[in-house]
Amino acid sequence: MVETEQSIPFQNEKTMTAIHPFRIDIPQSRLDDLADRLRRTLWPDELPGVGDGYGVPGDRVRGLAKYWLEEFDWRATESRLNEHPQFTTEIDGEDIHFLHVRSSRADATPVILTHGWPGSILEYLDVVTALTEPADPAAPAFHVVLPSLPGFGFSGPTRSTGWNRYRTARAWLELMDRLGYRRFGAIGNDGGSMVSPEIGRLAPERVIGVHVTQLFSFPSGDPAEFEGLPAEDHEALAHLQWFLDNKMAFNTLHSQQPQTLAYALADSPAGLLGWNAQLFGESLDPEFVIGNVAIYWLTGTAGSAIRFYYEDAHTTEHPQGPTTAPTALAMFAGDFRSIRRFAERDHAGLVRWNFYDTGIAAGGANDAAGHYAAHEAPDVLVGDIREFFGDLG
């Protein structure tokens, strides 16, 4: 990782905090050590015939590890990232890394895109050019700001506690302020779907609109909320209950004892691969899966990233009332299904609700196909983003 000595003239007059150009350059020694560790992996035993009933199956992790060792080219991923302007700046005591890709269009709308776990900035790399330089001159264009979450990838490890969705939202407001963007849109997936609405809550006068791929709104406990609830929403609740009963171990451990898990994730690339792969469905190409996992490994942020869950679970900051910024949801088949009745309770500005079944082939019963829509269905997602912000004017 290389940060140049010279700062560029993006400075906030109030804070005069510099923004520095950044270029990724992982030392070859790190790559050699990674390859050596993958070759010397100590594999656990596995019960025959249990499939994924006990967790991610060994044949899947072995296959991904083999791809990582024999086929994945980190330098190609590094080069692809370095094609875009990257920067770092210190916000609230932490070094924040981000891509800042400006459109050539004078009428472009600034937007900040936020990823989640176990994703990274790679989640959105397939849509950057389409957003900044649309082929159709009549289509909306955007200036793209794509930061790594605090503690994730090149924004970590974090040095302080408390980096939950709310503190991150405040940091993103500061980042956009430093870049000179008074008005902008907020776009998010996964953890970014929790951060982006909070940006709108904090500064509704600055946020043009919030576009997310999930709205994590759940029953409040009031039985009246279920009266007349459509059958499809009951099905969504049943699937959510199944997920809670069978697949939430990662959330519980991250929220309670992230440091305990961090020792294993920091020491074993195969261990990190197995743990993160549980949220990368079988439908995803191995290049995308390994690219994301490699960022955590090569930056030493596997442990600091999962602290996001702990901080969110232990925060005493619980804003009251719904968000008010114009909000759009673009759901994709196979992913978490939001329920509009609950979402409208939490987001008073909800103006757009779309569901897309793009025919993404699921790899198995437990595969959340569609969760990484910016990679799996980039044209559909970009189209929805363009329509939403275009309608807002």
> Rounded distance, CA 232 to CA 193, Å?
22
For residue 3, pLDDT over 50 is answered with: no
Q: Can you name the residues that pair with 90 across neighbouring β-strands?
A: 95
Kindly name the residue from 95, 124, 181, 190 that is annotated as catalytic. 190
Average pLDDT in the 41-70 region?
96
Q: Judge whether 300 and 384 are in contact, CB under 8 Å.
A: no
Give the pLDDT confidence score for residue 367 in this predicted structure. Answer: 75
What confidence tens digit (pLDDT) does each residue in 136-171 have? 999 999 999 999 999 999 999 999 999 999 999 999
pLDDT tens for residues 183-234?
999 999 999 999 999 999 999 999 999 999 999 999 998 999 999 999 999 9
Location of structure tokens 């994301």: 292
Q: Which value, in Å, is the radius of gyration of the alpha carbons in the chain?
A: 21
Per-residue pLDDT tens digits for 337-367:
999 999 999 999 999 999 999 987 776 666 7
pTM over 0.75: yes
In the DSSP assignment, the letter for residue 323 is: B
- The model's pLDDT over 74-104, given as tens digits with 9 standing for 90+, comes to 999 999 999 999 999 999 999 999 999 999 9
Highest CATH level, class, for 68-220+235-392 = alpha beta
pLDDT reported for residue 14? 45
Q: What is the pLDDT of residue 17?
A: 80
User: Binning pLDDT at 50, 70 and 90, where does residue 261 land?
Assistant: very high
3-state helix, strand, coil in the chain (%, to 5): 45, 15, 40
Average pLDDT value for residue range 280-292: 95
Res. 2 pLDDT band, cuts 50 70 90: very low
CB atoms within 10 A of CB 82: 14
13 band by pLDDT with thresholds 50, 70 and 90: very low
Residue 309 a catalytic site member: yes
25, pLDDT greater than 50: yes
Please tell me the predicted confidence (pLDDT) of residue 156: 95
Q: Is 97 known to be catalytic?
A: no
Whether 190 is catalytic is yes
Could you say which of 356, 371, 375, 384 is catalytic?
Answer: 371
Least confident among 114-128, 201-215, 310-324, 350-364: 350-364
Residue range 2-19: average pLDDT?
Answer: 51
Percentage of the chain beyond pLDDT 90 is: 89
Hey, how many other C-beta atoms are within 10 angstroms of the C-beta on 12? 16
Strands (E), the chain: 2-3, 19-23, 86-91, 94-101, 109-114, 142-147, 184-188, 207-212, 327-332, 350-356
Residue of 296, 309, 310, 356 with catalytic role = 309
- State yes or no: pLDDT of 4 exceeds 90: no
If DSSP codes are grouped into helix, strand and coil, which group holds residue 331? strand
